[in-house]
Amino acid sequence: MAMKAPKGTKDVLPKDSYKWQYIEEKWNKICSEYGFKEMRTPTFESTELFNRGVGDTTDIVQKEMYTFEDMGHRSITLKPEGTSPAVRAFIESNQYAEVQPTKYFYDTSCFRYEKPQAGRLREFHQFGIENFGTSSMLADAEVIALANDFLNRMNVPDVELHISSVGCRCCRPVYREKLQEYLRPRYDELCDTCKTRFDKNPMRILDCKSEICWDIAKGAPMMLDYLCDDCRAALEELKCYLDAMGIEYKVDPSIVRGLDYYTKTAFEFITNKIGAQGTVCGGGRYDHLIEEVGGPDMPGVGFGLGKERLLMLMESCDHDFGGEELPEIFVAWIGDENLAYSLGLLNELRKSGIRAVIDTKARNLKGQLKYANKLGAKYSVVIGEDEVRTGELTLKNMIEGTQIKIDRNNLISEIRK
């Protein structure tokens, strides 16, 4: 039986990979414009990092991680998100001792054992940024501005920015108690998962997808109504900065982020164009994460943006990705004695940056040209005895069907025209 890719994973084949390259190029560019620098962290980390970083009451840690013991009896986990590894590397490289803030960006695979569906995979890919070392809302505003600017550049309409505050160590416990008070009389009606959330992480109940919990959650008290003065002022400050930058948003008290580490700012970019999994980008502030992972007491803010969901959205509005890159010239040859010359020409073309191909299946001339057509090559040349002797080539424009005689020395400039 033929092998299949594991459930929840996807191959990216050439008919789509140029679209990935397109968004990756634009992503690298915008990050550099905003002063973020790339970091790459390993695909796997010690499980302990995510237990501490993501939080062991979260769905991710409790049921979605790819965890295994390696041959040295270490517990290893494929990274389910990018922030905790970024924090680990920040601490390990002593970057916290340098001038702050530290601004990182990344592009990474993430692994979560979830139920695969449209926009939800077990291996998916995220663009992300992190800004460590500043508690000013200017950092939150800049992080949101980058996501907003990027989505605008990707030309995706109908994406809404929702912002909220999830409070801090001062006001969240007060709210938590209020929420538990509200939920307690209806405890028996909650789904089994939410029953376990009641003590450990009651805010997650507000994000439950089961109908009954959702119904109960509708009337629950909201974090926004219980913010302390500091958190309330922070949210107002953020709104001022977003207004100043002309960024539209909605304050949405229902935002509950899936990771435990968030404090104050939480935000999502949401669309209804790609089905149920409509959150393209999610992020927020995490003022205690660096400390929890073993670093100094330092704040941070960032986001993760799902590449698959972004591409689904761009495809749904027929984004022009510029198409696959086709060969510029196909070098065909007649007679084995002319092959060496052809290979030399091919080499020269490639060295000057021209996309040049040859038939590595070594078919006869008719077969080679048929293949050139199939590849969509713009030009072709046929190298025979005359061409080798005189250096005069016939350059055929395969699209227009026209041809010109040209000296080999002028070939590159002609193609570049």
d(CA 106, CA 41): 9
Element (H, E) at 343: helix 339-351
Q: Which does 146 bind (CB under 5 to 8 A by kind): ligand ATP, Mg ion, none?
A: none
| Nearest approach, Cβ of residue 242 and ligand ATP (Å) | 19
For ligand ATP, give the closer residue by CB, 85 or 282: 282
Which residue of 85, 167, 302, 304 would you call a contact of ligand ATP, by CB under 6 A? Answer: 304
For ligand ATP, give the closer residue by CB, 151 or 331: 151
d(CA 401, CA 221): 71
Which residue of 77, 279, 338, 380 would you call a contact of ligand ATP, by CB under 6 A? Answer: 279
Question: What angle separates helix 14-33 from helix 137-153, to the nearest 10 degrees?
Answer: 140
Q: Which residue is nearest to ligand ATP (CB)?
A: 306
Q: Which stretch binds ligand ATP (CB under 6 A): 10-18, 45-53, 272-280, 345-353?
A: 272-280
DSSP string, 111-127: E-----BTTB-SEEEEE
Interface of this chain with Mg ion, residues 235 to 274, rule: CB under 5 A: 258
Q: Which does 279 bind (CB under 5 to 8 A by kind): Mg ion, ligand ATP, none?
A: ligand ATP
Structure tokens at 314: 């761009």
Residue 275 as a binder of ligand ATP (CB under 6 A): the answer is no
| Omega of the bond leading into 101 within 30 degrees of 0 (cis) | yes
SS3 402: strand
Contact 285, 259 (CB under 8 A): no
Which residue of 10, 120, 186, 232 would you call a contact of ligand ATP, by CB under 6 A? Answer: 120
| Omega of the bond leading into 221 within 30 degrees of 0 (cis) | no
Contact 392, 410 (CB under 8 A): no
Interface of this chain with Mg ion, residues 29 to 58, rule: CB under 5 A: none
Residue 277 as a binder of ligand ATP (CB under 6 A): the answer is yes
| Residue type (1 letter), 224 | L
Q: Which does 271 bind (CB under 5 to 8 A by kind): Mg ion, ligand ATP, none?
A: none
Residue 280 as a binder of ligand ATP (CB under 6 A): the answer is yes
| Nearest approach, Cβ of residue 210 and ligand ATP (Å) | 15
| Residue type (1 letter), 307 | K
Which residue of 121, 203, 227, 266 would you call a contact of ligand ATP, by CB under 6 A? Answer: 121
Q: Which stretch binds ligand ATP (CB under 6 A): 13-21, 42-50, 300-308, 316-324?
A: 300-308
Structure tokens at 327: 């060969």
Contact 57, 200 (CB under 8 A): yes
d(CA 166, CA 182): 18
Instruction: Catalog residues that contact Mg ion under the rule CB under 5 A.
Output: 258
Q: What residues make contact with ligand ATP under the rule CB under 6 A? A: 81, 112, 114, 119-121, 124, 126, 258, 277, 279-282, 304, 306, 308-309
